[in-house]
Amino acid sequence: MHTAIARFLQYLEVERNATALTVKSYREDLVALADYLTEAHAGSCPGPGAIGVLDLRGYVAALHEAGYAQTTIARRLASMRGFFRFGQREGWANTNPAKPLRNPRKSRSLPHVLSSDDVGRLLAAPPANEPAGLRDRAILETMYSAGLRVSEVVGLSESDLDFAAGIVRVRGKGRKERLAPIGSYAVRALRRWLGARELSPREPAGPKAPVFVSKLGRRLSTRGVARMLEKYLRQTGLDRRTTPHSLRHSFATHLLDRGADIRSVQELLGHKSLVTTQIYTHVSTAGLREVYRRAHPRAQ
């Protein structure tokens, strides 16, 4: 089983050009399955070709009993389907035992969104008189201005920036590239940060140089951005539920609130399906309902 998992991960990395984060997620999901099967079969994990739908049903039931989130269970099912589909291609599986299993029904919760005023408070929090503050403001301005995921903002290199055109080249999920516009505030913040940035000798200079680096001059990690945001949330007293992704949610919601059409927002976010973008129309409607409830004399 572990040999088959290793071969599948190699296929994802080499042939499918999957990101390191995607490969890591598949590895964790499939190793967890192997551990369950080893325990369920008295210490001996069956070969991947001998695993049946009943084995997988038992595993999914165990995940439900352990209280795993529905999104986590759905992701693990997707990992299993991909793994056994690969097995059919390789010839060690005649069928895909994960195919008949249904995803759990997702409870669709609305994303957490900051108001325009709260975004302004957050963007103004980093100090402008020190390099770390310049970097932090440039990160926050860029994420909100272009609606970037945290992995996308830390992945930016100098060659991805086109200040004259006001765009950045973004590598999104599945390494898909898109061009995202950035506003004058973000451009100004980026220029100031790049003037203060110091690279580590380990990082390339020139076009391939990372835009955002740590105190050691190395490319900043996604966790580093999350820790930075947590610091400014404490300083400003803003909602602690706010995550780096909340800036992306706020970007989309504020565009729709101000009349942007949903197809344009879909393109800007890099969403493959319009269904994914439609969640923000619900957020926007929820905001209108709240305004109506507070303002209309007959709403109560």
Rounded to 5 degrees, φ, ψ at 195 are -70, -20
Domain presence at residue 109: no
Order of strands, sheet of 177-181, starting from the edge strand that comes earlier in the sequence: 161-162, 167-171, 177-181
Q: Is residue 20 domain-shared with residue 141, that is, in the same domain? A: no
Domain presence at residue 249: yes
What is the mean pLDDT of each successive set of 10 residues along the chain, which is 300 residues long? 94 90 93 93 89 93 88 93 94 92 75 92 95 97 95 95 95 84 95 94 91 95 96 94 94 89 89 81 66 64
Q: Which of 40, 56, 90 is the last residue of a domain?
A: 90
10 bridge partner residues: none
Among candidate residues 81, 85, 121, 245, the one labeled active-site is: 245
Residue 42: per-residue pLDDT:
84
Q: Is residue 133 domain-shared with residue 272, that is, in the same domain? A: yes
Domain presence at residue 95: no
Q: Quick check: is 245 catalytic?
A: yes
Entry pTM: 0.66
- Which residues, including other chains, have CB under 8 Å from residue 51's CB and lie 6 or more apart? 37, 84, 97
Q: Is residue 176 domain-shared with residue 284, that is, in the same domain? A: yes
CATH number at residue 211: 1.10.443.10
Q: Is residue 272 domain-shared with residue 123, that is, in the same domain? A: yes
Count of domains for the chain: 2
Q: Which of 90, 108, 137 is the last residue of a domain?
A: 90
Closest by CA to 105, choosing from 68, 70, 59, is: 70
How far is the C-alpha of 292 from the C-alpha of 300, rounded, in Å? 10
CA torsion 273→275→277→278, rounded to 10°?
160
Q: Is residue 148 domain-shared with residue 240, that is, in the same domain? A: yes
Among candidate residues 75, 112, 173, 178, the one labeled active-site is: 173
Residue 83: per-residue pLDDT:
96
Residue 101: per-residue pLDDT:
92
How far is the C-alpha of 215 from the C-alpha of 200, rounded, in Å? 9
Q: Is residue 135 domain-shared with residue 273, that is, in the same domain? A: yes
Q: Is residue 282 domain-shared with residue 176, that is, in the same domain? A: yes
- Residue 7 domain boundaries: 2-90
How far is the C-alpha of 56 from the C-alpha of 72, rounded, in Å? 15
Provide the total of helices (H) and of strands (E) in the chain, helices listed first: 13, 3
Q: 12 is written with which tokens?
A: 């994802």
Among candidate residues 76, 248, 249, 254, the one labeled active-site is: 248
Q: Is residue 59 domain-shared with residue 190, that is, in the same domain? A: no
Q: Quick check: is 248 catalytic?
A: yes
Specify the DSSP class assigned to residue 48.
G
How far is the C-alpha of 211 from the C-alpha of 193, rounded, in Å? 9
How far is the C-alpha of 287 from the C-alpha of 258, rounded, in Å? 12
Q: Is residue 127 domain-shared with residue 12, that is, in the same domain? A: no
Q: Is residue 153 domain-shared with residue 213, that is, in the same domain? A: yes
CATH number at residue 23: 1.10.150
Domain presence at residue 283: yes
Q: Quick check: is 280 catalytic?
A: yes
Among candidate residues 26, 144, 232, 280, the one labeled active-site is: 280
Among candidate residues 81, 99, 169, 271, the one labeled active-site is: 271
Residue 195: per-residue pLDDT:
94
Domain presence at residue 300: no
Q: Quick check: is 271 catalytic?
A: yes
Among candidate residues 149, 171, 219, 249, the one labeled active-site is: 149
Domain presence at residue 110: no
Q: Quick check: is 294 catalytic?
A: no
Domain presence at residue 108: no
Q: Is residue 181 domain-shared with residue 290, that is, in the same domain? A: yes
Closest by CA to 33, choosing from 68, 71, 62, 66, is: 62
SS3 177: strand
Q: Is residue 77 domain-shared with residue 145, that is, in the same domain? A: no
Domain presence at residue 106: no
Q: Quick check: is 249 catalytic?
A: no
